[in-house]
Every structure is written in C-alpha cells, then in structure tokens.
Chains A and B, each alone.
Chain A
Amino acid sequence: MKRHLISAADLTRDDALLILDTAEEMARVADRPIKKLPTLRGRTVVNLFFEDSTRTRISFEAAAKRLSADVINFSAKGSSVSKGESLKDTALTLEAMGADAVVIRHHSSGAPHRLATSDWINASVVNAGDGTHEHPTQALLDAFTMRRRLSGVGRGLEGRRVTVVGDILHSRVARSNVLLLTTLGARVTLVAPPTLLPIGVETWPCEVSYDLDAVLAKSDAVMMLRVQRERMNAAYFPTEREYARRYGLDGLRMAALPEHAIVMHPGPMNRGMEITAEVADSPRCTAVEQVANGVSTRMAVLYLLLGGSEPAIGTDRSDSARTEESK
C-alpha cells in the first residue's frame, strides 16, 4: 500500500481487500466491552477539517481513539484560513507538532494531493473528502457494507451491480465509488439527470443512465446521493418535486428492486428529496450500518498506513520540513 490515501485509484484490488479484511477484524473490537486496541499508542493523528463535517470527523476520531492514538481536531473553517498560505502554514505547524497522520477534509479538489506531494509535511495524508473530487474512505466503507450484505466476508464484489443515483457532477462519493467498486469487480451504473453528470463521464469505467426505473430491477445495491436543494437555483433541475419524481427513491421504486437488494446512503439524508422516509426507515436501508462500518474501515486505514504495513512513518522522510523547523 502507498503511504497516503488520496484517491480510490491508489488502491489495488489486493490493497482494497486487505483494508476490508482488516476492517472486519477491527469491527470485532466494537463488540468487546473495552473497545480499544493499543496499536497506535504514542502516534498522533490530526483531523484537519477545512469544511464542516461532524459525521466524518467523529468517525475518524473514534477510529483513531480505538487504536489508542492521540487525536488532535483542527477545525480550520472560515475565510481567514481558507487561503492557500494557511494550508501550507497549517501543514508546517502540524509537522512541527509531530503529526504522524493528517486526515484532511478540504473544500478544494486536490488539496490532499497537494499536501501529500508538497514538501510541507512528512505525515501520512488521508483524504477525508476534497471538493468534488474524492472521498476514498467513504467508498471503502460502502464496499465493506456491500460485501457483508451481498457477497460475504473475504470476497470482492465480482458481478454485483451497483447503481449510484443523484448529483454525480458534484459528488466525491460517486467518483471514489466508481473507482473502488470497479477495482473490486462490481459493475457500476450512474443515474442522474444529464445536467448533473460531468462532461467526459462516458470515459469512466461504468454505465450511465438517465432513467432510474430502467435500472432498478438490475441492481443489487442502490446508492442514493444527497442532492442539495440549492442546485435548483443554478438550473440543474427545475424543482425539488420534479427531481424527487424522476430520481427519488420511494416505496414503489424500492419494490421494483430484487428482493436481496440494499439501499445505501452516505448521509446526511434529504428525506423527501432523494429518498422518502418510508425507504430511509426500511430494513433494506443500510445508512446507519454504514456509519458503524465507517469507524471499522477508518481504523483499518489508519492502522495499515501507520503501523501495519511496510512503508509506515519514518521510512521515507525527506528533511525539508525539519530544516524549516531548525531555522
């Protein structure tokens, strides 16, 4: 495995399976009376969040704490620190404090990539969502959830058909899932109004459809993406009601799914928009399960990046940032 996790494309099939298998082991910790492993004792994990995301942040925080790492939460939201200099200066600061891993959420696509490839910092960088680019740990926890429900522990997702519905254009979850699920052998279909599909989507390793009803019967999993109501103002679709009618998942559409199929949502859900309450609260909806699986998956990622695999911290240091420190 690489030293950073920036894109789902960084993961080979073996890498991905290793993370998922490790996550299964981590999940067992959650069933113990003391939900803690000593693995990352003495290591420092920084949650560097330039964008609000309570869910992802606490998921990473819980994951790091269960591995006994020291956790620092750095919320850098707001205009005064949203400029590029601060990303660099913040990185230099974290480096000086001895961060071993930086979990970064940033509103700007590519910011984690920049952090990992700059000479600003030596820590492992984990992308916790960058702009409209990628969110690889979300894809991993989604794959983990699908594997448990659809193909069984220890396997890939060969032959499984996954339909991702919604605002693909602005979705980092969709990008990471297309890459990872394809790596794991699944066949992905994206469904959206044409306005919410990126130019060039036909070159992605997946199918594309404008018609949700046409693909439901052929889906083992349907992943509903959150659609922001503000998109309506930029003319991506005419009204919320029209969106919900054409692309929302309601009880009727859920009934068209094969019996074993699951309904997924990365949260937070817009009930009444992309998903009705009836579907969200049905036993087929794995939204809550995904949250629990998120902690196990992120434990696995941190463990493998920081301790459990060859190129762990300390083997690959360039000394630029250290020099910075001694000036």
Chain B
Amino acid sequence: MSEILIRGAKVLGGAVQDVLISGETVTAVGAALEAPGATVVEAAGHILLPGLVDLHTHLREPGREDSETVLTGTRAAAAGGYTAVHAMANTFPVADTAGVVEQVWRLGKESGYCDVQPVGAVTVGLEGKQLAELGAMADSAAQVRVFSDDGKCVDDAVIMRRALEYVKAFDGVVAQHAQEPRLTEGAQMNEGTVSGELGLTGWPAVAEESVIARDVLLAAHVGSRVHICHLSTAGSVEIVRWAKSKGWDVTAEVTPHHLLLTDELVRSYNPVYKVNPPLRTEADVVALREALADGTIDCVATDHAPHPHEDKDCEWAAAAMGMVGLETALSVVQHTMVDTGLLDWAGVADRMSARPAAIGRLAGHGRPVAPGEPANLVLLDPAYRGVVNPAGFASRSRNTPYEGRELPGRVVATFLRGRATVMDGKLT
C-alpha cells in the first residue's frame, strides 16, 4: 500500500503535526512520525485542511461543453483545493431525471480529480411548474440529496412547499435561488445609487429577502430543511439569523465574490462583474463577512459559473451572468476572512468543508484530520502572494473578476482519498 507522509504541516492552522496517509486513509497524526518508504511531502509553514466541498458548482456538461466539462471543471476544483463539488442542475438537458444525474455522476467518477455530487432540479426543466422525479434521482446511483432550480427561483409558493415536504422522505434539501421574478424583470445589477447613475435596471435586495423570508417560514411550517443559495444582502442575513434563532433547519451559503466585490465595479461596464445575484454594496459585504464568521451563514460556495469569452466580450446587457470561482475561492476567503482576523483556519475548514458536506449529506468529506478518516485533504501555503492570471486556469473558461488582482495563498497539494490530484501546486 502506498504511503504519503505530510511532514510539519499546521493541521487546521493549529499545532505542527506529521500526517501519514496509507492508501485512501489517514492512518496517523502526530509529532515526528516515521514511515520508511513513504513519499514525503515537506509542509513546513503550510496549513492542512480537509478537502474543500463546494455546494454550488456549474460544470456545464452536458450541453455547454464550450464553457466547461466535468473533466475541466473537476480539474479546476482540485487546483482550488476541492475534493467534492455539487454540480448544479441547469445543464442541457436539465438534470431533472435519474438518467441525467447518473450521467453527470459517472463523468465525475471517470474524471478522477474530484467527487462530483449531482444536484437534481426541483421542477421539470427548471420551469417551476411540475415537480421533477425527486425520488428517482434520490434513489439513483447518484443518490441526489440536494435539489435546486438554481438560475431560476422556485417562486410558486405551493410548488416550493410541496418540494420541501416531499424531500423529507429521503433526507433531501431544497437549495433555493431566491429571486422574486417580477421584481427583477430585466435586472442588470444591484438596485441602488450606482444603478441609478448608470441607467442599468436594478435588482433590489428585497427581491431576494422576500423569497428567503417566505421560504424559511415554509420550511418551519412543514418541518423540512431549506438551504439558501448565494445569499447576498445584509437583510437576508438578518432573516436567516432570525430563522436560526427559532431553531428552524435553515442553512445558507455565500460566494467568495460577494465577500469581496461591490457594485462600484460595475461603473466600468465590464461584464466580468455581471453576476446573479449581483454584486451588492460595501455594507452588504461587511454584513456577509460577519455572518460567515458568526456562523449565521454556514458555508462558502463558489457558484463557479464558466462562460465562453464571447459571452463576456460584449456590452453589459448582452453579457452572460456569472464568474468562475473554484480556483480563487480559498484565496479570496483567506483575504477577506482569515487575513482580516474574522475566521481562523479551523473556521475555514468548517465553512468550506465540514458544513457544506453536512448540508449535502456527503459521507467521506468534511471529516476531521484524524486516523481512520478518508484522506481527502488540502495543503496550502498562506504566505504566498500572487497576481491572478486566468491564462493559468485549469477551467475551460476565464471569466474571473480577479484578473490582475493580488490575492494571498496558494494550494500546494490536494489529496482525493489518498491520491494527489495536485502536487507542488500543479495538477497531477
């Protein structure tokens, strides 16, 4: 059995330890471990965390292989320190049947870079009218537990209620893209001072908050759990905080870009900043960071949304919404949360690995770094400083808002069940 000895890493940013991986499992954690014949990874000054888990990734396959495939997307995930990603359902065809989710699941298996857990659509074709065969997807080989019409909101209150109720049978969760459609017709950016000046149709915070408020009440009413995708406003934070204070089973995610960027960037009219939900204000950014720090927001999810160059190389209104995020997420979280003192590395492990794995009911991920646990790990160098250069991305797409920006931290190695998918900062 092959062995890897990670020597001198700060486990979860704490004590310096050696970690021995034998086969697919962590077999020893301690000081000055001896392992003759093991491959040694020198990790002085580096941080060892459980492999990251993304609850919100667009892998685009099937249908939009020009922007990403399961293979390129999972390579990007591994490069970013992820060992599991949830593949969103808005593919072509939509992942609303057992057949499509099994296809995505199988492509993930074949890629070998990262576990791919398909998300099933809540409604047929993401149309919001008729429930998809949620049970069939749950019982399929893919064992779907997270259901989402992401990209579209399940805005019909009855459909949402039924979905919340129905998934209780298999411990599923509905991940809601909270966007009241009538309040956001033609919306191009956050509605506020900047949208008024730029003459771009606004996407008001209330369009997100009103749906979240309704859905936490629905979840409480039917005794189910609801997950809020890419929460983006200070008001949404307040609603989730209130729902949690009631003891309701409500979880929420925030994207890295909403932790860092604001709508002021839209003044450039550069569509690389066009995303849904839109970049909000500085006050929202501050509230989101605080909420992630205090646990009101459970996790960071990338909403990795690859788009081909031509869909961003155009005027604002014609451009696609979304940004790639897998390969920069950890750096942005270090920059916004760790380097600011809001969260320690154990907190990062919780928000980027343990909690998303728990929400997705993903066994084998988000586990402690301890003997007997699966060796899904990421090793990072927090002292590294580098300028983001999308030309080096493993993703097929380049639509990053961070190009040219200096960000801290770098993934040195990623281990998926004991096998290095990234070593010395390079994909294997």
Contacts and interface: CB of A to CB of B under 8 A. Distances in A.
Nearest to B320: A84
Interface string B256-270: 000000000000111
B363 to A, nearest CB: 44
A160 interface: no
A31 interface: no
A108 B317 CA distance: 6
Interface stretch (B29-37, B199-207, B393-401, B407-415): B199-207
Nearest to A118: B313
Nearest to B319: A84
B197 A199 contact: no
A84 B200 contact: no
A127 to B, nearest CB: 11
A194 interface: no
A133 B318 contact: no
A87 B317 CA distance: 12
A200 B198 contact: no
B156 interface: no
A84 B314 contact: yes
Interface string B268-283: 1110000000000000
Interface in A177-221: 198-201, 203-204
Contact of B199 (A88, A133, A204): A133
Nearest to A9: B197
A27 to B, nearest CB: 30
A283 to B, nearest CB: 34
B13 interface: no
Contact of B195 (A82, A84, A111, A199): A199
B67 to A, nearest CB: 15
A134 interface: yes
B314 A131 contact: no
Interface in A72-130: 82-85, 87-88, 106-111, 113-114, 117, 130
Nearest to A132: B199
A175 B197 contact: yes
B386 interface: no
Given A84-B315, A110-B315, A110-B316, A131 B193 contact: no
B200 A88 contact: no
Contacts of A198: 195-196, 202
B199 A172 contact: yes
Contacts of B202: 198-199
B423 interface: no
Nearest to B310: A85
A110 B198 contact: yes
A88 B318 CA distance: 12
Nearest to A109: B199
Contacts of B204: 199
Contacts of A204: 196-197
B197 A88 contact: no
Nearest to B315: A111
Interface in B180-210: 188, 191-202, 204
B199 to A, nearest CB: 3
Given A87-B314, A108-B316, A113 B199 contact: no
A184 B77 CA distance: 54
A82 B314 CA distance: 11
Given A109-B200, A114-B269, A175-B199, A83 B193 contact: no
B391 to A, nearest CB: 17
Contacts of B195: 198-200
Given A85-B310, A199-B202, A199-B204, A114 B315 contact: yes
Given A114-B269, A175-B199, A198-B195, A106 B310 contact: no
Contacts of B314: 83-85, 87-88, 114
A283 B4 CA distance: 90
Interface string B217-260: 00000000000000000000000000000000000000000000
Nearest to B311: A84
Given A133-B198, A200-B192, A83 B316 contact: no
B193 A203 contact: yes
Interface in B309-349: 310-311, 313-319
B281 to A, nearest CB: 11
Contacts of A130: 199
A108 B194 CA distance: 16
Most A Cβ at <10 Å: residue of B188, B192, B195, B196: B196
A111 B200 CA distance: 11
B319 A113 contact: no
A131 B199 CA distance: 7
Contacts of A110: 198-200, 269, 315-317
Given A113-B269, A199-B202, A200-B192, A106 B315 contact: yes
A114 B366 CA distance: 44
Most B Cβ at <10 Å: residue of A83, A87, A106, A114: A114
B268 to A, nearest CB: 8
Contacts of A84: 310-311, 313-315, 318-319
A83 B318 contact: yes
Contacts of B318: 82-84, 87, 108
Most A Cβ at <10 Å: residue of B199, B310, B314: B199
Contacts of A200: 192-197
Most A Cβ at <10 Å: residue of B198, B268, B270, B315: B315
Contacts of A131: 199-200, 317
Interface string A41-57: 00000000000000000
A158 B201 CA distance: 33
A88 B315 CA distance: 9
A117 B268 CA distance: 9
Contacts of A201: 196
A70 to B, nearest CB: 26
Given A110-B198, A110-B200, A133-B198, A199 B192 contact: yes
A32 to B, nearest CB: 39
A199 B197 CA distance: 9
Contacts of B193: 199-200, 203
Contacts of A114: 269-270, 314-316
A33 to B, nearest CB: 42
Contacts of B319: 84
3 tightest A-B contacts by CB?
A84-B314, A133-B199, A84-B318
5 contacts: A108-B318, A110-B316, A114-B314, A117-B268, A175-B199
Given A109-B198, A200-B195, 5 more contacts: A108-B317, A109-B316, A110-B198, A133-B200, A198-B195
